Structure 1
């Protein structure tokens, strides 16, 4: 990709975002207007079953346009934020309308049960927040168009680029695997008695970055990379499954798919890969739920049990999934779908603000921004989700966590002004991270991929959390890696191309160099 084609791609990306926003602004405005009216339950139900479908279509179309227009953006929030919004703010809440009778009955009995009017208000809140975040992304594209067109793409599948990806991929797999399976997991599972700093725990994803690089080299035609990937990746997927964490499983499935896309650049193949990953994610949810429950029953905590115990739990479930299913799953409740919806917590945030219920989690935001390496005695903060869950259930000793999404969080604390001010800033932040990611991918600067992965996690999961945990908390780690990698790159260039001796410099000038 030369400079002219990069500028053309950036212009097409801006146009795609503008087209989506021209549809989303009227749609979210209509949503808010209808939520302010007193509609009959039947009319509100019809709106709740229609507007999210239109919302999904617009966002899915935008994600598709981004992948076709600028394939490198698949490694950035420019692609993943609209995709995640379609899933969590569009498709998830539809379970309240189109879920099975047993699912809707279980939701009605939950402390966060929703009336049709409450669902309509929660949907309007999320749609407006998503539109503002996308507007922030688009405004950055307008204000800094050159940032979206920087970085030249090396020739696809060049021998040197493929070999570099293979070497660095293996290095990441080995280093990340050692950290994750020998240090991070034992620490988080309470087997060593040590608190693993957040900066270290995030480095466990180096393994997934390594497999993304191996997948890239394999898709580019390197037989050794293909052999290494299939020799090591199944073991990594199996070990990831023992964490009983959906994020670990999804990273192991999705990153190789987008790594391969960097080489083959076939959107249809990427869509098939992501669809398969989504199907496996859905199928894994009962397994994850069973695994967590079994660990809690055996150890009294969700993070107990070692590898052998977890392998035994997984083996028992796979032998007889029916026996391991929870009562909710056995009764036909669509738990995989209900976990994609944040409408209940968002409606609670709207009601809590109307009742004047105090909630100020940003008061402790500064603690999240200080790395543990600089503050060894930093307290282990449980996160605001624990406080919110206790408020919802009225149980002061509850140990589960509940997320509001950044839209519910901003509204509860600051009202509509919080969304107007906070969401565009989040979008602008995602845009800056996207330009760094696109530049690194175009230049095949694979050493930057760990930072790219952190940005991806913020874009995919951050909006589902609180502002302090989903957006502000990961920032110091991201900035630290960007700074360290930039310093190492500068040092490598300086050592390789340092000041030439005077005689050599004069000889070059004499020869017209």
Structure 2
């Protein structure tokens, strides 16, 4: 690791090195100003959110306009995008959203406007620290390893890699993961099998980026995208469905480098999120209701029946439990973030710090390995008294939830450093057209989008796995 002293920064680093510093100062000022805001003056959030859109939106616009390929190579772009969606657009629910949705959001945990503005500044400082770590630090040894491995793996063509990814991913997802989700088997797929199923997403990117005149690739990628969206909806999983569409649009952007189409694609993704949100929420709630508090497995026929119930205008199922703006409340993390801060201050914070050593130990080696993904369920139980769902708070608050201000700084900086490692791995892969190493490229993008997740399972764990995978690529390249 070294401090980046190269004067020839790329566009993102040139713009970001200045903007992130200014934005961090903006976050501190916002936190100091928050105490002077009346508890019910929700309009006070608006100027802070609009400034955030303007400042960070400028970074995105300047970077993509000058270097269209940076949308793939600079994974920190996805950090900014997810930050703006969850921590800036989400809080605007209290200003521009339906009152029912705002009240529904606050019903989980009460929060006032002064606390909300403070959290807006807190998250701004977090993304600033992550961004500065990303643009100022380099990992030349990681880049060298990736460059050496990618030169050897570049011998595999995009077409061969596409079909290889389809073959492995299809077996993992449609013979192991999906049958379990549909209740056709009781054999629980492990995390490795689920990750192999994600290879289909990478295949979609390749199929759309390099399909050129190959009709077989074009047809297969279109069918695969439709199948992934359909299976995601059947599992009542927005992430699976959205990722498939995002992968197709990202691949098309790599092919065309058309920024206008990119803007239209982003608008399409947001509209799709709003459209499928109620269906997915209804399906999940119905499975929980049928299990009397615990989601039950449902086969294909039952899931289609549930979907039909949602669209049946002659029944009450469609409107049952639906609240105007509920989709927006799912993008707003302020109530659970405030809950996590209050819990830490009362001595009831997170315990993920004690699980860090276990991220280096595979479960098949140590079957008694503790469950690594229960932090969200534990938080739900602390606030609501039940364990029927998992609640996220975001990487920055998660750091504070575990170790206070020290944890906040460590989580923020390490998040930026992790993303920079992914960028160092990604750039040689793209330069050498090492399509077989694209799983590492997608991992960086996905981690950048997980700003709303947990540090242990969405930053540290995936990074360890990525470095092991890079080491395997290096060994096999010889």
Shift in Å, 1:203? 1.1
Report if aligned partners of 1:188, 1:303 keep a CA contact under 8 Å in 2.
Answer: no
Report if aligned partners of 2:85, 2:331 keep a CA contact under 8 Å in 1.
Answer: yes
Report if aligned partners of 1:95, 1:338 keep a CA contact under 8 Å in 2.
Answer: yes
Bigger relative contact order, structure 1 or 2, given CA contacts below 8 A and separation 6+?
A: 2
Q: What aligned pairs does 1:455-466 form with structure 2 within 5 A after superposition?
A: 455-461=444-450, 463-466=451-454
Report if aligned partners of 1:10, 1:70 keep a CA contact under 8 Å in 2.
Answer: no
Q: What aligned pairs does 1:261-272 form with structure 2 within 5 A after superposition?
A: 261-272=253-264
Corresponding residue for residue 18 of structure 1: 17
Distance 1:180-1:49 versus aligned 2 partners, 3 A rule: same
Corresponding residue for residue 74 of structure 1: 71
Corresponding residue for residue 459 of structure 2: 471
Distance 1:431-1:378 versus aligned 2 partners, 3 A rule: same
Corresponding residue for residue 410 of structure 1: 399
Residues 130-149 of structure 1, C-alpha deviations (whole Å, 9 max, x = no match): 111111111125x869959x
Shift in Å, 1:47? 2.8
Distance 1:274-1:165 versus aligned 2 partners, 3 A rule: farther
Task: Determine if the alignment matches structure 1 residue 362 to structure 2 residue 365.
Answer: no
Corresponding residue for residue 505 of structure 1: none
| Partners of 1:382 and 1:413 in 2: CA distance | 15
Q: Give SS of 2:64's match.
A: helix
Gaps in structure 2 of 5+ consecutive residues: 1-5
Higher CA-based Rg: 1
| Partners of 2:440 and 2:409 in 1: CA distance | 28
| Partners of 1:228 and 1:246 in 2: CA distance | 22
Shift in Å, 1:106? 2.4
**Alignment equivalent of 2:305, drawn from 295, 302, 312:** 312
Q: What aligned pairs does 1:150-169 form with structure 2 within 5 A after superposition?
A: 164-169=157-162
Larger mean CA deviation between 173-182 and 285-294 belongs to: 173-182
Q: CA RMSD in A?
A: 2.9
Task: Determine if the alignment matches structure 1 residue 445 to structure 2 residue 445.
Answer: no
Report if aligned partners of 1:53, 1:91 keep a CA contact under 8 Å in 2.
Answer: no
Corresponding residue for residue 216 of structure 1: 209
Q: TM-score, normalised by structure 2?
A: 0.89
Residues 432-487 of structure 1, C-alpha deviations (whole Å, 9 max, x = no match): 111212221222111111122222221102x2122112212223332232222232
Larger mean CA deviation between 123-132 and 290-299 belongs to: 290-299
| Partners of 1:49 and 1:116 in 2: CA distance | 11
Distance 1:319-1:222 versus aligned 2 partners, 3 A rule: farther
Shift in Å, 1:96? 1.9
Shift in Å, 1:383? 1.3
Corresponding residue for residue 3 of structure 2: none
More helix by share: 1
Q: Give SS of 2:210's match.
A: helix
Report if aligned partners of 1:122, 1:344 keep a CA contact under 8 Å in 2.
Answer: no
**Alignment equivalent of 1:343, drawn from 318, 334, 355:** 334
Q: Give SS of 2:364's match.
A: coil
Task: Determine if the alignment matches structure 1 residue 400 to structure 2 residue 389.
Answer: yes
Residues 267-301 of structure 1, C-alpha deviations (whole Å, 9 max, x = no match): 22122222212211121100110111222233454
Corresponding residue for residue 454 of structure 1: 443
- Equivalent pairs, count: 466
Gaps in structure 1 of 5+ consecutive residues: 1-6, 155-160, 492-513
| Partners of 1:227 and 1:305 in 2: CA distance | 31
Task: Determine if the alignment matches structure 1 residue 487 to structure 2 residue 475.
Answer: yes
Task: Determine if the alignment matches structure 1 residue 201 to structure 2 residue 200.
Answer: no
Corresponding residue for residue 100 of structure 2: 102
